[in-house]
Amino acid sequence: MKLKTLVSTLASVLLIGSQAAYADKWGDQFPHIAATGDIPGMCSYEEMSKKDYSGRTLTINTHAIPVMGEPTALHAEQFEKLTGAKVEVTHTPAGDLYSKAMVPFQAGQAPYDIVFGFSNFINEWKRYLAPVPQKYVDQMTDVTASHIAIASWGDTMYQYPVDGDRHYLKYRKDVIDNPEMKAKYKADTGNDLRVPQTWKEYAEMAAYFNGWDWDGDGELEYGSAEVMKKDDLMYAAFYSRSAAYSKNPSTPGGFFFDLETMKPLINNPGFVEALTDWVEAVSYVPPGGINFGLGDEINSFGGGQTLFSFSWDDAFVAAMQDDSPIKNQVGAAQLPGATKVWNRETNSWDEGFNQAPFFVWGWAVGVADKSKNQDVAFDYLCFFANGANHQADIGIGRFGVNPFMEADFEAEVWTDIGWDAQVAQEYVDTLADMEKSTNRVFPLRVPGTFQFNSALATGTAKALAGQLSPQEALDEVAAEWEAILERVGADNVRDAYAIGVAMEDNEL
Amino acid sequence: MNFKHKFVFLLPGLIVLIGILIFPIIFTVRLSLSGWNSFNPELDFVGIKNYIRLFTDDPRFWESFFRLSFLAVTTVFLQYIIGFALAHMVWKDIKFKRFFRVLFLIPMMTTPVIMTVIWRTFFHESLGPLNDFLSIFGVQPQWLSSPGLAKISIIIVEVWQWTSFMFLLMLAGLLSLPKEPFLAAAIDGASPFKKFMYVTFPLMAPISIGAIIIRLIEASKIMDTVFVLTSGGPGTATETSSFYIFIKGLREFQMGYAATMSFTYLIIMIISLTIIAKVLTKVLMKE
pLDDT tens digits, A201-220? 999 999 999 999 999 999 89
Please tell me the distance in Å from B77's CA to the nearest CA on chain A.
Answer: 28
Contact between A327 and A321 under an 8 Å Cβ cutoff? The reply is yes
d(CA A149, CA A161): 10
| Residue in chain A lying closest to B257 (CA) | A487
Q: Domain of B150?
A: 58-284
CB nearest to B39's CB, from A96, A464, A488: A488
d(CA A361, CA A441): 11
| Residue A18: predicted pLDDT | 45
| Residue B96: predicted pLDDT | 84
For residue A152, being part of any structural domain is answered with yes
| Chain B residues with CB-CB distance to A99 below 8 A | 250-251, 253
Q: Are residues A238 and A92 in the same domain?
A: no
| Residue A145: predicted pLDDT | 86
8 Å CB contact of B142 and A287:
yes
Supply the ipTM of this predicted assembly: 0.83
| Residue A24: predicted pLDDT | 64
8 Å CB contact of A450 and B38:
yes
Q: Express each pLDDT in A142-197 by its tens digit.
A: 998 888 988 999 889 999 999 988 899 999 999 999 999 999 999 999 999 999 99
Contact between A296 and A212 under an 8 Å Cβ cutoff? The reply is no
Put simply, whether A102 touches B (Cβ < 8 Å) is yes
| Residue A359: predicted pLDDT | 85
Contact between A124 and B38 under an 8 Å Cβ cutoff? The reply is yes
| Residue in chain B lying closest to A124 (CA) | B39
Q: Are residues A223 and A75 in the same domain?
A: no
pLDDT of A4 above 80: no
The CATH number assigned to the domain holding A154 equals 3.40.190.10
- Strand A57-63 to A86-92 pairing: parallel
Q: Are residues A210 and A61 in the same domain?
A: no
For residue A274, being part of any structural domain is answered with yes
The CATH number assigned to the domain holding B267 equals 1.10.3720.10
For residue B178, being part of any structural domain is answered with yes
| Residue A457: predicted pLDDT | 94
Q: What is the DSSP letter of A178?
A: -
Q: Are residues A381 and A498 in the same domain?
A: no
d(CA B124, CA B127): 6
DSSP structure string for B210-255: HHHHHHHHHHTT--HHHHHHTTT-STTTT--HHHHHHIIIIIS--H
Average pLDDT over chain A, rounded to an integer: 91
For residue B5, being part of any structural domain is answered with no
| Residue B126: predicted pLDDT | 81
Per cent of chain A over pLDDT 90 is 72
| Residue B286: predicted pLDDT | 67
8 Å CB contact of B235 and A99:
no
For residue A131, being part of any structural domain is answered with yes
d(CA A409, CA A428): 5
Q: Where are the alpha helices (DSSP H) in B41-179?
A: 49-57, 59-91, 97-109, 112-123, 129-134, 147-176
Q: Are residues A230 and A308 in the same domain?
A: yes
| Chain A residues with CB-CB distance to B38 below 8 A | 102, 124, 447-448, 450
Q: Domain of A368?
A: 30-161+363-401
Q: Are residues A355 and A370 in the same domain?
A: no
Q: Are residues A90 and A181 in the same domain?
A: no
Residue B273 or B3, more confident: B273
Q: How confident is the model at residue B5 (pLDDT cuts 50, 70, 90)?
A: confident
d(CA A281, CA A283): 5
Phi and psi at residue A91, to the nearest 5°: -105, 135
| Residue A245: predicted pLDDT | 98
CA distances from B273 to A207, B54, B168, B209 (A): 50, 22, 22, 11
CA distances from B150 to A16, B121, B156 (A): 63, 14, 10
| Residue A17: predicted pLDDT | 44
For residue A430, being part of any structural domain is answered with no
Per cent of chain A over pLDDT 70 is 95
Q: How confident is the model at residue A14 (pLDDT cuts 50, 70, 90)?
A: very low
Q: Are residues A181 and A151 in the same domain?
A: no
For residue B85, being part of any structural domain is answered with yes
Q: Are residues A331 and A352 in the same domain?
A: yes
For residue A23, being part of any structural domain is answered with no
Put simply, whether A447 touches B (Cβ < 8 Å) is yes
Tell me which residues of chain A, numbers 304 to 363, contact chain B at a CB-CB cutoff of 8 Å: 305
d(CA B89, CA A57): 58
Q: Are residues A469 and A368 in the same domain?
A: no
Q: How confident is the model at residue A96 (pLDDT cuts 50, 70, 90)?
A: confident
Phi and psi at residue A131, to the nearest 5°: -60, 145
For residue B256, being part of any structural domain is answered with yes
| Phi-psi group of B206: left, alpha or beta (phi > 0 → left; psi -120 to 50 → alpha; rest → beta) | alpha
- Average the pLDDT over A396-413 and give the result: 89
Looking at the structure of chain A, the number of domains it has is: 2
Q: Express each pLDDT in A230-266 by its tens digit.
A: 877 899 999 999 999 999 999 999 999 999 999 999 9
d(CA A356, CA A337): 7
Q: Express each pLDDT in B104-161 by its tens digit.
A: 999 999 999 999 999 999 999 888 899 999 989 999 899 999 999 999 999 999 999 9
Contact between B126 and A288 under an 8 Å Cβ cutoff? The reply is yes
| Residue in chain B lying closest to A291 (CA) | B145
CA A403 and chain centroid, separation: 9
Q: Express each pLDDT in A432-473 by its tens digit.
A: 888 889 999 998 999 989 899 999 999 999 999 999 999 999
Q: Are residues A281 and A377 in the same domain?
A: no
| Residue A20: predicted pLDDT | 46
Average pLDDT over chain B, rounded to an integer: 92
| Residue B101: predicted pLDDT | 86
For residue A327, being part of any structural domain is answered with yes
d(CA A227, CA A233): 7
- Average the pLDDT over A39-63 and give the result: 96
Q: Are residues A256 and A118 in the same domain?
A: no
8 Å CB contact of A465 and B144:
no
For residue B24, being part of any structural domain is answered with no
For residue A320, being part of any structural domain is answered with yes
- Average the pLDDT over B9-36 and give the result: 92
Strand partners, A59: A88
The closest alpha carbon to A388, from A78, A1, A91, A58, belongs to A78
d(CA A441, CA A248): 10
- Average the pLDDT over B258-273 and give the result: 96
| Residue B287: predicted pLDDT | 54
- Average the pLDDT over B176-195 and give the result: 93
Q: How confident is the model at residue B2 (pLDDT cuts 50, 70, 90)?
A: low
Per cent of chain B over pLDDT 90 is 77
| Residue in chain B lying closest to A452 (CA) | B252
For residue B249, being part of any structural domain is answered with yes
Sign of CA pseudo-dihedral A93, A98, A99, A105: positive
The closest alpha carbon to B227, from B139, B132, B114, belongs to B114
ω into B178 cis (within 30 of 0): no
- Strand A330-333 to A306-311 pairing: unpaired
8 Å CB contact of B235 and A448:
no
Put simply, whether A286 touches B (Cβ < 8 Å) is yes
CA distances from B161 to A183, B150, B214, B237 (A): 54, 17, 15, 21
Looking at the structure of chain B, the number of domains it has is: 1
For residue B239, being part of any structural domain is answered with yes
- Average the pLDDT over B32-44 and give the result: 90
pLDDT of A19 above 70: no
CA B20 and chain centroid, separation: 22
Contact between B151 and B237 under an 8 Å Cβ cutoff? The reply is yes
Q: How confident is the model at residue B1 (pLDDT cuts 50, 70, 90)?
A: low
For residue B137, being part of any structural domain is answered with yes
For residue A449, being part of any structural domain is answered with yes
d(CA A305, CA A234): 20
